[in-house]
Chain A
Amino acid sequence: MKEPQPHTWEVTREQIRAYAEASGDRNPIHLDDDAARAAGLPGVIAHGMLGMAQLSNFVVGWTGDHRRLRRLRCRFSAMIVPGDRITFSGRIAGERDGLVELELEAQNQKGERVLTKGLAEVTAS
């Protein structure tokens, strides 16, 4: 398999709001700037799981079929906020037992790593 090409995701308030509705995670730190500031944040932040959903999209775009994905993991290392441009990248780390291991990470436009320890395992065919 060829390595995936990096992909950039532009983060908007609208998508964070849509994710809150669709996932059911309506924690106000994702929806309301005042509530987010009261929690010690600069303003609303994206759900970690929205970032992981984009990581999944990135891997599925590479495999072509989500059913080949057997494992997906990441650490949420830094906040993702509206206006960010997040670039996902992946590197094939190896293959064993018919599974290809892809190491993953995501950086924002400032070069800060927002998702680390990323790993996907996908079936080799």
Chain B
Amino acid sequence: MSKVAGKTYPQVETRLEADHVRAFAEAIGADPQAGVPPTYAAVYALFSTAVQLYGDEDAAVDFQHLLHSEQEFSWTRHPEVGETVLARGRVEEDVERRNLRFLTYATSVDSGGEPLCSSRMVNVIRG
């Protein structure tokens, strides 16, 4: 049963605010002077678009039984503090195997019309 395979969501804009990036770097133990930590992509690529999927009634994601199983980010380049990026999420796969639902969500992030980053998240939801 595939509920939402192939579905795309509206683009989400995120400005990488200096204070927020610094707080994130401090929380993970990265150097706050070094710019935007790579996994700040969790904020500008992943969570910004995942909330669209999780809030989608058609997708009917059972968040209580959801596990983040795999994550991949790739970067053409890393964003800088103060930059504004645009992220678009797409359901790459939505399949059931052995009473588990595998939901793969891909997000592409652009800045100034050029690709910047892509994210691929695999969620496993117990049935």
State the A residues within 8 Å of B (CB).
15, 18-19, 21-25, 39, 48-50, 52-54, 56-57, 60, 66-67, 69-76, 117, 121
- Interface contact tally, CB-CB below 8 A: 93
- Please, which residues of chain A bring their CB within 8 A of the CB of B70? 73-76, 117
Given A49-B46, A117-B70, A56:B78 Cβ within 8 A: no
B39's partner among A49, A67, A76 (CB-CB below 8 A) is A49
State the B residues within 8 Å of A (CB).
20, 23-24, 26-30, 34-39, 42-43, 46-47, 64, 67-75, 77-78
- Please, which residues of chain A bring their CB within 8 A of the CB of B35? 66-67
Main secondary structure of the interface of A (DSSP, over half): helix
A76's partner among B20, B24, B47, B68 (CB-CB below 8 A) is B68
Residue of A nearest to B43 (CB): A23
Q: Are A66 and B71 in touch, CB under 8 angstroms?
A: no
Q: Are A56 and B27 in touch, CB under 8 angstroms?
A: no
Residue of B nearest to A38 (CB): B64
